[in-house]
Amino acid sequence: MPQSKMKPDRIKDILNILNKEHHISIAELSKRIFTSKSTLRRDLISLEEDNIVRRQYGVVYLLQDKNIEYTYSRREKVQEKAKRYICELAVKLIPNNAALFLDGSSTIMSMPDLLTDKVGLHVITNNLFIANRLNQMTPIETVMLGGILSHKSGSSVGSWTIEQIYKFKTDFALLSASTLNLDGVYSADAEQSTLKSAMIHNAKTAILMVDHSKFDHNDYIMMSNYDDIDVIITDQRPADKYVQLFEQMGIKLVYD
């Protein structure tokens, strides 16, 4: 029986196969890389959160061809320009002296660098990297939420983290999602979904930040319905069906 591999090696094997075949059944992929379906599922969730693959009806699809080493070691580079642009639009909505949640998604990673001109901000985040960047910006008061630190994302998760979120009432929650469709907003991870929902419910204004590639897909965990979202920021004008839906729901759509 082949020796079990570490996660980085499994990820390389998965992407090697998908770069050649572009899609494959999850059952067949499990056999090809000699790993259990439960382990494979965790690996695919990790790749899906970074918008590299998409799972649907028992099949995994490669969303875009990329150099494998670069993809895994620099996951925040996926849709980098789009994410930066979305953050530039978001920062225009944040006034001085505001209190805000920032989640630990890669879409939010550019926000600290764009907040340098703001004064009197109070930022609460569960992401170690975001907190460290903010900590270098002395005018910004930063609260790092405690909890179990996820090696995958550098974010604190779990019940302790969520309990702390409920101690704050902020002006804004800025967060991203794995996917969205006409029914709602989704996450590929149960813990992150619960955490993001808590941020939404404890903020006056919930701002969802998603690039164009996340539309028209769904994961099995619904993070939020549109009743709880106030603003959606994306990098391109979405399809008319979304423009109409957001208008009907009273959601402000920002893309330019």
pLDDT, one tens digit per residue, over 140-185 is 999 999 999 887 678 899 999 999 999 999 999 999 998 899 999 9
Strand partners, 233: 209, 254
Which pLDDT does position 1 carry in this prediction?
42
Which CA distances in Å does 15 have to 68, 69, 178, 236?
7, 10, 19, 28
Q: Of the candidates 116, 113, 117, 134, which has an alpha carbon nearest to the alpha carbon of residue 125?
A: 134
Which pLDDT does position 139 carry in this prediction?
82
The conformational region for residue 31 under phi > 0 = left, psi -120 to 50 = alpha, else beta, is alpha
Alpha helices in the chain (DSSP H): 7-21, 26-32, 37-49, 68-73, 80-91, 111-114, 128-135, 159-165, 190-201, 240-249
Q: Looking only at Cα atoms, what is the longest distance across the chain?
A: 60
Q: Is the pLDDT of residue 49 over 80?
A: no
Number of H helices, E strands in the chain: 10, 15
Entry pTM:
0.73
Q: Is the pLDDT of residue 66 over 90?
A: no
Supply the DSSP symbol for 109.
G
Supply the DSSP symbol for 193.
H
37 or 50, greater pLDDT: 37
In this predicted model, what pLDDT tens digit does every residue of 179-213 receive, in sequence order?
899 999 998 778 889 999 999 999 999 999 999 98
Domains along the chain with CATH numbers: 7-75 (1.10.10.10), 79-254 (3.40.50.1360)
- Once rounded to an integer, what is the mean pLDDT over residues 85-113? 94
59 or 122, greater pLDDT: 122
Q: Is the pLDDT of residue 64 over 60?
A: no
Which pLDDT does position 152 carry in this prediction?
67
